[in-house]
Structure 1
Amino acid sequence: MKRELHRLPPGPAGLPIIGSAHHMISNKPVFRWIHRLLKEMNTNIMCLRFGAVHVVVVSCPEIAREVLRKNDAVFASRPITFASGSFSFGYKGSILSPYGEQWKKMKRVITSEILSTALERRLHGRRAEEADHLVRFVYNQYCDTTANRSVDVRHVAQHFCGNMIRRLMFSKRHFVEPRLASAGAGPGPDEVEHVNALFTLLNHVYSFCVSDYFPVLVGLDLDGHEKVVHGVTATLNRLHDPVIEERLHEWSTLRQHGEKREIRDFLDVLVTLEDSEGQPLLSLEEIKAQTAEIMYAIIDNPSNAVEWALAEMMNKPEVMEKAMNELNTVVGKERLVQESDIPRLNYLKACIREAFRMHPYHAFNPPHVAMEDTTVAGYLIPKDSHVIISRVGLGRNPNIWVDPLEFQPERHLMSSSNVVLTETDLRFISFSTGRRGCPGVSLGSSVTMMLFARLLQGFSWTKLPDVQTIELKESTTNLALAEPLILPAEPRLPVHLYESI
């Protein structure tokens, strides 16, 4: 009976000392191997042992709710790894930091100051300008009569997100403004490198690196992981540091003269926060860490969801027709869609929910670390275990979803008259929940929906002449489309709307 009460979740038999680490090393990408194991063992919860670390995988909504709601306080920490420590500048931010006073401090900064309703309203104009720039860029780059009309949707979507977060963070789209910046200018070399670095970061943090579970191996760089991490950190430092240091100097000078100016962006907020004694609340390292976290938190999910949604809709003309009919009815063709229209664009939101469900960018949520022994689904979860929630297991679970591999936005219209991008029952994960849930639901929803709605409203999309069906194949290394989505685009609104932005 004692053994039964202290039983770990089912899992493969491991070797002494290393557990299943040899399988982790030889089965790349690791997330596909883990999902094969879940299927072979016919279980919704599984325990793997990598060295001394128990990694518990959860793949159904009921157990996920038990982890992220019932036991939220127990699972409020994060692992200590080489990549997460590097990317957080020594755990100075909010997303990657383990549970403790530093995490609490930065979480308060993010929720109360950066993502406050007042600041979101104040920065509405910036977001609207970037939505206009998106349409202008596609129109000028791809829809000119002499230009190639085939649009790289991934490039457009990722750089819209990059432009957006740089504008909100730094008040500028380019790190160094180009000398001949036309109205529809695209990203320069620095901006391309910036976005690439942010995606590389997202692909390497919590990526089952061997030293994550055997810290004694840090420094040997057996899998080349550390070299990549150093490269990303160097790129972010090169691009972010001059902007941050210039802003610190500007506000220091203003303070010395007893002057102030209006808060313009997220960086102003971070630089000007003061403690109870009137001293700067955040150190340089904390500002750098939080800047980087805000950058990468916004860039992957909107761009990935919109690319997948468009790809799916190209193979389902009836879905595209319903989306366009909704845009024509709610917005019309005499003005551009705005953030204020989003509450009434329920079918478009259902399309994005379906993309989040079927096609998350990451297979797993970031790991939650158990801060004490606890029980989940009747199994023992030992202290210091890593618990990872499978986004794939939730969103494509045949016990939860009818025809789970079919793109059917209508399934999200039945439960509510006002569709939202969050999923409170954890039948899939968009923004997660609990203490470690994403606090930027409103901003993330706005960025995602404006990207999607402007691309659909502004242009008619078709397949390339020699393409009958869009191949919906996943990348081998993550869940993005294997190849960037390339689609011809034609303007579908009156010419004066494109020329006036």
Structure 2
Amino acid sequence: MLTTTKKSRKVIPPLPPGPRGLPIIGYLPLLGTELHRKFEELAGVYGPIYKVWLGQKLCVVVNSPSLVKEVVRDQDTIFCNRDPPIAALAATFGFGGADIAFSSYGPDWRKLRKIFVREMLSNANLESSYTLKREEVKNSIRNVYDKIGTPIDFGELAFVTVINAMLNMWGGTLQGEEGAKFKKLIAEMVLFGKPNVSDLSQQSKMIFQWSENILDTAIEKRMNSNEGKQDGTGKFEQKEDFLQFLLELRRKNDAATSISMTQVKALLWVIMEGGSETTATTVEWVMAELMQHSEAMRKVNEELTEIVGSDSLVEESHLPKLHYLDAVVKKTCRLHPALPFLVPRCPSQSSTIGGYYVPKATRILLHVWAIHRDPNIWENPLEFQPVRFLNDPSKFDFSGNDFKYIPFGSGRRICAGIPLAERTLTYTIASFLHSFEWKLPQGTELEFLDKFGIVAKKLKPTVAIPAPKLSKFELYTK
């Protein structure tokens, strides 16, 4: 007697729910320009995970801490590849995939990230580069003092200060029209967050080429100045900075630590581009929130006076003692995360999230902006209450271990530059708050609308009038 057996078929879970789009173009025409708000609205309809077709690209949006954990912790190796927009790829095309923000997970990425995090941004290197950063902050304080009583675009002030602090840590600065042009070019990076940017690739290449010129000039100048200046150990005699450190790595014969010139530029690019606009944008949001909330501003100023004193400038050594300011910064990062969706991820193989099927190569958006404002997670989420971060500072840090608060991401692809960004952000805002009293121009009001992009900037700049606060005139001029 013959018997037949049925082959068992593996049941594939369904795709996440989501809105119906149009043929070929999907949901693109219905998105509008504020994707973070539109996607928050869709989460209210379809739940903590849903799909959206953007043209022929399947996107899955994740809106809950538990599902974020599945992506960045439980299945991190599967979901740790990137799916950058076309314009972002165009802006970094000259690095040949060496850019650690957008490049795929693999041995080269692990090597560069290890160099960047463990060596380049080690505590010793950050401390040795502090004097270079301090010099640029003092330059900005002098420039503001020269404009006492006149309205200042605080966002522009923050950007010029931060980018020059970053550049000075490897031997370069931007001045005058050059600084204004670079700010404009970096501001175009907000376009990278838009879903349909194929027509921007040429513009993005211009951003890269202009940035590479800055890198090439600094590298050539440093290499020429190093000619014949090596000591007996093969090291250069001059003071070390980030650029010098990377050039010495390039000269090594050890495959585990040596890097190419392209990789040198890629690592400098991470600091110049990745660390400037995000940090400066957050500095501006912090100032805007404090000017809107006078009681919080009063507490910050009292803390600065107590810890620093009116006869001194802020130093990095003061930062660990500025607990209330730290809470204000963390609160601001909750309400205004610099990257509303972080950087899109992409699974290397088909998997599941929350029981739903997620095909290989799907674009995964972790909707941090919505999670940080979810009333089911945060009590009175839109209120500015730094005290909740003050009461439990170890719980809400930037390490990405609490998945309801991940302004810098989590898992293998967490922001590589957190130590530098956190120091630069807090030191910059503390210096401007301690040195000057800031008031709105008469008859003006603050507004808190943002402009969507990979970096969510303020739609309208924060304009404020400074007045001196320090007791010694020389502190502004020396």
TM (normalized to structure 2)?
Answer: 0.89
| Residue in 2 that maps onto 1:214 | none
Contact 1:87 1:233 in 2 (8 A): yes
Contact between 1:363 and 1:392, CA under 8 Å: does it hold in 2? Answer: yes
Q: Is the 8 A contact 1:150 1:489 kept in 2?
A: yes
Residues 2, 483 of structure 1: CA spacing in aligned structure 2 closer, same or farther, 3 A cutoff?
Answer: farther
Q: Work out whether 1:53 is the aligned partner of 2:28.
A: no
Answer whether contact 2:313 2:475 (CA < 8 A) is retained.
Answer: no
| Cα pair 2:345 2:363 within 8 Å, conserved | yes
The amino acid that maps onto 1:36 is E
Mapped to 2, the partners of 1:276 and 1:337 lie a distance apart of: 39
Amino acid at match of 1:193: K
Task: Describe the SS at the equivalent of 1:489.
Answer: strand
SS at structure 1 position matched to 2:53: strand
Q: Counterparts of 1:416 and 1:44 in 2: how far apart (Å)?
A: 27
Looking at structure 1, the residues matched to 301 and 49 of structure 2 have their Cα atoms a distance apart, in angstroms, of 41
* 1:358 lines up with 2:365 in the alignment: no
Written as runs of structure 1 = structure 2, the 5 A alignment for 1:57-456 is 57-79=61-83, 81-88=85-92, 89=94, 90-140=96-146, 142-143=147-148, 148-169=149-170, 171-174=171-174, 187-201=175-189, 203-209=190-196, 211=198, 221=199, 225-251=200-226, 260-262=236-238, 264-274=240-250, 277=253, 281-416=258-393, 420-422=397-399, 424-456=401-433
Per the alignment, in what secondary structure is the counterpart of residue 55 of structure 1?
A: strand
Counterpart in 1 of 2:16?
A: 9
Q: Deviations over 1:55-79 (max 9, x none)?
A: 1111222221221112211111112
**1:418 & 1:18 partners in 2: Cα distance?**
43
SS in 1 for 2:61: strand
Which letter maps to 1:235?
Answer: W
Between stretches 345-354 and 29-38, larger displacement belongs to: 29-38
CA distance in 2: counterparts of 1:312 and 1:210, whole angstroms: 32
Contact 1:301–1:360, Cα closer than 8 Å, also in 2: no
Q: Report if aligned partners of 1:68, 1:434 keep a CA contact under 8 Å in 2.
A: yes
Distance 1:133 1:71, change over 3 A: same
Number of residue pairs aligned between Structure 1 and Structure 2? 466
**How far apart are residue 343 of structure 1 and its match?**
1.2
**For 1:29 and 1:417, how far apart are their aligned partners in 2?**
33
Identity of aligned residues (%): 27
- Residues 139 and 498, structure 1, Cα contact 8 Å, conserved in 2: no
Separation in structure 1 between the aligned mates of residue 124 and residue 388 of structure 2, nearest angstrom: 34
1:33 — aligned with what? 38
Deviation of residue 423 (structure 1)?
A: 5.2
Q: In the alignment, residue 38 of structure 2 is paired with which amino acid?
A: W
Report the Cα offset of residue 365 of structure 1: 0.7
Distance 1:473 1:3, change over 3 A: farther
Name the Cα RMSD after superposition.
Answer: 2.8
CA distance in 2, matches of 1:251, 1:278: 22
- Shift in alpha-carbon separation, 1:253–1:11, aligned structure 2, 3 A: farther
**Alignment partners' CA distance in 1, 2:231 and 2:320:** 46
Indicate the SS of the match to 2:183. helix
Are residues 462 and 422 of structure 1, via their aligned partners in 2, closer, same or farther at CA, if it must alter by over 3 Å?
farther
2:311–2:472 CA contact under 8 A, matched in 1: no
Change (3 A) 1:200 1:80: closer
Take 1:434 and 1:265, find their aligned partners in 2: how far apart are those partners? 29
Counterpart CA distance in 1 for 2:266 and 2:451 is 29
1:302-361 C-alpha deviation (Å, 9 max, x unpaired): 222221222222222111111111112222212122111111111101111111111123
C-alpha separation in 1, matches of 2:398 and 2:312: 25
Q: Which amino acid aligns with 1:8?
A: L
Per the TM alignment, residue 259 of structure 1 is displaced from its structure 2 partner at its CA by 6.6
Asked if the contact 1:44/1:59 (under 8 Å) is kept, the reply is yes
Is the alpha carbon distance of 1:198 and 1:210 closer, same or farther for their aligned partners in structure 2, counting shifts above 3 Å?
closer
Query: Residue type of the partner of 1:161?
Result: V
Equivalent residue for 2:3?
none
**What is the Cα deviation at residue 9 of structure 1?**
1.5
Q: Residue 201 of structure 2: SS of its match in structure 1?
A: helix
Q: Is the 8 A contact 2:250 2:260 kept in 1?
A: no
Distance 1:418 1:387, change over 3 A: closer
CA distance, structure 1, for counterparts of residue 394 and residue 107 of structure 2: 41
Distance 2:443 2:226 in 1: 57
SS in 2 for 1:435: helix
SS at match of 1:426: coil
- Which amino acid counterpart does residue 265 of structure 1 have in structure 2? D
C-alpha distance in 2, partners of 1:409/1:325? 15
The Cα offsets for residues 437-474 of structure 1, whole Å up to 9 and x where unpaired, read as 1122221111011111111111112222213x422232
Structure 1 position 17, deviation (Å): 4.9
Aligned-partner SS, 1:413: helix
> Aligned in 2, Cα 1:417/1:493: closer, same or farther, shift over 3 Å?
farther
**Whole-Å separation in 1 of the counterparts to 2:360 and 2:254:** 40
CA deviations on 1:281-306 (whole Å, 9 max, x unpaired) are: 33232222222222112112322222
2: distance between equivalents of 1:2 and 1:322? 64
Contact 1:135 1:498 in 2 (8 A): no
Q: For structure 1, which runs of at least 5 residues remain unmatched after alignment?
A: 175-186, 212-220
Equivalents in 1 of 2:405, 2:242: separation in Å?
Answer: 30
Change (3 A) 1:173 1:497: same
Once residues 38 and 250 of structure 1 are traced to their aligned partners in structure 2, the CA distance between those partners, rounded to angstroms, is: 56
The whole-number CA distance in structure 2 between the counterparts of 1:14 and 1:499 is 58
CA deviations over 1:387-409 (Å, ceiling 9, x no partner): 11112112111111112112111
Counterpart CA distance in 2 for 1:92 and 1:233 is 14
Q: Is the 8 A contact 2:172 2:218 kept in 1?
A: no
CA contact (8 A) 1:153 1:486 kept: yes
2:450 counterpart (474, 483, 492) = 474
Question: Offset of 1:476 from its aligned partner?
Answer: 6.1
Quote the offset at 1:266 in angstroms: 1.3
C-alpha distance in 2, partners of 1:74/1:263?
42
TM normalised by structure 1 equals 0.85
